[in-house]
Amino acid sequence: MTAQLLIEDLSLVFRTRHGMVRALEDVSLSVERGEIVGVVGESGSGKSVMAYAVMGLQDPASQVLGGRIMFGGLDMLRASEAALAEMRGRELAMIFQSPRTALNPIRKVGRQIADILRQHTTSRRGDLRKHAIDALARVRIPDPARRCEAYPFELSGGMCQRVMIAMALACSPSLLIADEPTTGLDVTTQAVIMDLIREMSRDARMSTLLITHDLGLAGEYCDRIAVMHAGHVVEVAPIEELLSRPAHPYTRQLLAATPTSRSTVEELVSIPGQLPDLRRELPACRFSERCERHVGTCDERPLPWTKLSPTHMVRCRVPL
Amino acid sequence: MTPPLLQARALSKHYPVGRGAMLHAVDAVDLAIAPGECVGLVGESGCGKSTLVRLLARLIDPTSGSVLLEGQDIAAVSQAKFVTTPQRSRIQVVFQDPSESLNPAFRVFQSIADPLKRLLGLRDKAKLAMLVHRAADLVGLPRELIERYPHQLSGGQRARVGIARAIAVEPSLLILDEPTSALDVSVQAVILRLLADLRTRLGMSYLFVSHDLNVVRLLCSRIVVMYVGRVVEAAPTETLFTAPRHPYTRALIAAIPDPARRGETRPRLDGSPSSPVDPDPNTCRFYGRCLRGADRCATEMPALRPFGEAHLAACHFA
C-alpha cells in the first residue's frame, strides 16, 4: 500500500529576534488512503507547524533544514508555487481552527464555495451556485439555498465550521488536514462535525490528518495516532494499542492527565515541568528533562526509533 | 437539610433587542447551593450559563426574581450599591481565560491585592503583603513570581493568579467559569487537583461552569443542565450520568467523545437551539430539536418535576 502522504525526517526552524526556534526535528509520519491519523500533543508541540508545512503554507521566517513531504507523487517542499496552488483546494484541503477568522467576512458563503469550484473544476459558470448549494447540503446544512446567501457573521460557530468543511470537501480532496476542527464548538456540534468527517473518510476514501489536543476525541475517531512533544514525533501506534499500551513515558502521562468518564480527581496526574525552550541547544530526547525514566544513554545522538510491532513505533531508549 | 448558602428563586434576565422584543437569557431559574457543596453547571454556548453566573455573582441586575445569600436577598439592592456591602466579598468569580481577565499592567502582587483593598478596605501594607503571600502560597504560586507581569507567566501560572485573587478575600462561594478551558491537559490536571484541595482546606462552595462533562464530574457532587435559558435537569453527578431523564441531557452525555465507544453510532443532536428571543411560554424550548417531541410539548411548557432524591427534570416524558 502506498501512503497518500509521507513526511520523512522533516526539520524546520523559525528565525526570530530571540534566536532560532527548532520547531520540528526529524518528524516522520505517513497517512494511508482512507485513514484518519490523529496528531496529539500539548500546545507548542509543533502540530500546527507540521500541518502548515504539508499545505506548503510557510511563514516567511521559517526554514526547512531537511526532509521531504511527498503527497500524491509530488515533492511538496521542492514543487513550484504554481504546482502547489493547483494542488491546494483540489487534492489537498484544510479546515482551520477558527472558522470565523478563516472565512472571508464580506463575501457570502455560497460565493466563497463557488470561488473554489471555479478555480479547480470545470463547472460552468451557471452551475456554480447549484454546486455550492450541493456542497452545503452534503455537510447537512439545513436550507442550503438560503444559507448560500448568508455572510459568515449571520451563521453560528457550528454552522461556519460546516461551511468551512463544505469548502474543504467541495472538490473531493484526497487529503484533508483538520486543525482542531471542533475547538470552541459545543460537544453536541462537535459530535455531528466529527461524524461527518469520518463518514467522508469512509465513503470517499479520503485521508485525514486530525490535529487535536483532545485525546478522547482522537481516541474515538482516529485509526492511528502520532504523539508530538516539543517538535518531535515520539510515538506512533494504532489507537487501541496506544490507549492500552502506551510505550513512551510522555504518552502515558498525557493519558493519565486526560479526564475520562471513569477517572477521579485523585487519579489525574500532571506532567512535571514544561515544554523545553526550543531556542536553546536541546538534548537528543526533548522529553528527558521531564522524564522519570531518564537514563544516561537517553542523551546520546541519534535518538533511535524502537519498533514494538510493525505498526507501533516509539522514539525512546527505555520504552515502557 | 442544611439551609442553602446561595439560592436563586425564579431568577430571570431579559435583554431588549429592539422593536420591543426581549431576549430571555435566563428564564425563571431556581438553584440552590449548600455550604461546602460543589455544583456543576453545563449547557451549550448561548444557553445562559454566563448570564446566570453574572446574576448570581451580582455583577448584573436581574429582570425579576431573587438571589438569597444565607437567606438575605442580595438582588434587592442594585448592583451599584451591592459593591459597597460586606457581602460583595463573599461571592467571587474565577473568569474563563486568565490571559484576558488579568490586568496586563498589574504585577501579580497588585492583581491579588486589588480585591483586598477594594472589598475589605485594607490599607495596611504589612497586612496586605501577608494576605497576598498567603493566597499565593495556597495556590502554589512561587514567591519569586509575585513581582512579575501576566505576560511573563505561563498559562498555568496565570490560572493560579486568577484563583489566588478570588480566594484572597476568603469568599464562601467561588464561581468558576470554565477555569481550565484555555489550558493544556497536563496543566488542567494540576489546576483541577488544586481546586479540589482548596475546597477541602477552605470549606468553600463551588459553582463550576464548564462545557466539558468529564471535567465537571471530577469535582462536582451535583450537576445542573441548562438549555436556552432554563434549567432542564438537575441531579447528583452519578445519577445524571447513569440515569439521565431529560432528552437533552442524554444527547449531551452521548456526545462526549469516548474511545471505548468507537465506531458505535449514537443518536446525534442536529440543528441549533431555538431562539431565545420572545420564546413561546407554552412550548418546551427543546421542542423541534428533541427526538421525542410530541404535540403536548408544543402547547405546554414542561415544569421541573422531582424524580427521587434530589433529581429534577423538565420533560413530559422524563
Q: Can you give the pLDDT at residue B96?
A: 84
Rounded to a whole number of angstroms, the distance between the first and last alpha carbons of chain A is 30
The whole-model pTM stands at 0.89
Residue A244 contacts B where some CB pair is shorter than 8 Å:
no
CB-CB contact of B224 with B207 (8 Å): no
**pLDDT per residue as tens digits for the range A201-232:** 888 899 999 999 999 999 999 999 999 999 99
B62: nearest Cα among B22, B11, B24: B11
**Distance (Å, whole) CA A111 – CA A130:** 11
**pLDDT per residue as tens digits for the range A51-68:** 999 998 888 999 999 999
What kind and span of H or E run contains A69? strand A62-71
Interface touch A187/B255, C-beta < 8 Å: yes
Q: Can you give the pLDDT at residue B208?
A: 96
What kind and span of H or E run contains A199? helix A187-204
Of residues A140, A188, A266, nearest to B44 (C-beta): A188
What ipTM, to 2 d.p.?
0.85
Interface test with A, best of B178, B185, B275 (most A CBs within 10 A): B185
Q: Rounding to the nearest 10 degrees, give the CA dihedral for residues B189, B191, B197, B203.
A: -140
pLDDT at A1 over 60: no
pLDDT level of residue A157 (50, 70, 90 thresholds):
confident
Q: Say how many residues make up chain B.
A: 318
CB-CB contact of A301 with A232 (8 Å): no
Report the percentage of chain B scoring pLDDT > 70: 100
Decide which of B149 and A143 is more confident: B149
Task: Classify burial at B205, counting beta carbons within 10 Å of its beta carbon; exposed 0-12, middle 13-18, buried 19 or more.
Answer: buried
The number of C-alpha atoms within 13 Å of A231 and in the hemisphere containing its C-beta is 21
pLDDT at B207 over 60: yes
How far off is chain B from A124, nearest CA to CA, in Å? 32
Residue A186 contacts B where some CB pair is shorter than 8 Å:
yes
Q: Can you give the pLDDT at residue B65?
A: 96
A250 vs B contacts (CB less than 8 Å) = none
A157 vs B contacts (CB less than 8 Å) = 45
Closest chain A CA to residue B154: A274
B163: nearest Cα among B123, B121, B201, B127: B201
**pLDDT per residue as tens digits for the range B173-205:** 999 999 988 888 888 999 999 999 999 999 999
CB-CB contact of A254 with A271 (8 Å): yes
B192 vs A contacts (CB less than 8 Å) = 259, 265, 268
Closest chain B CA to residue A158: B272
Cα angle A244, A248, A249 (rounded to 5 degrees) comes to: 100
pLDDT at A251 over 90: yes
Closest chain B CA to residue A191: B255
A6: nearest Cα among A56, A58, A75: A75
B165: nearest Cα among B110, B210, B86, B87: B110
What average pLDDT does the structure give for chain A?
91
**pLDDT per residue as tens digits for the range B275-302:** 899 999 999 999 989 988 889 999 999 9
Q: Can you give the pLDDT at residue B1?
A: 61
